Amino acid sequence: MSDRRIQLHHKLEEILGTKLVYFQPPESTKMQYPCIRYNLAKVPVQHADDKAYILNPKYVIVYITPTPDDAKRFDFVLGLNSPIIQTYAKDGLYHYILELYY
């Protein structure tokens, strides 16, 4: 695991106020709510001087809660300085999705 990804993980735990943060969990993982689930979406690479330079990876971060008007989501968004790009409800859970380069 990269040190930057671990730093992001700890920051997400800090913002959420719990350890319920999951990185690319398999389908079999039984998550507890409210939680944050995130995954690596893209690793941009820039080429110069015949070398590849990796830029900050993009992560898709999803705050999942059973409460439709959960105040923690605002702390979550403000803590990351990234707007919510999509929301949806499924199986009684509310999902708030952000994209973050970190």
Q: Which domain holds residue 87?
A: 1-27+68-102
Total domain count, the chain: 1
Strands 35-42 and 21-23: parallel
Beta bridge partners of 54: 45
Number of neighbours of residue 35 by Cβ within 10 angstroms = 19
Within-domain flag for 56 = no
Within-domain flag for 44 = no
State the pLDDT confidence band at 54, using cuts at 50, 70 and 90: low
Cβ proximity of 19 and 31 under 8 Å = no
Cβ proximity of 93 and 33 under 8 Å = yes
Within-domain flag for 79 = yes
Output phi, psi for 24, to 5 deg: 45, 55
Within-domain flag for 102 = yes
Within-domain flag for 93 = yes
pTM of the predicted protein model = 0.83
Q: What is the mean pLDDT of residues 12-20?
A: 93
Within-domain flag for 57 = no
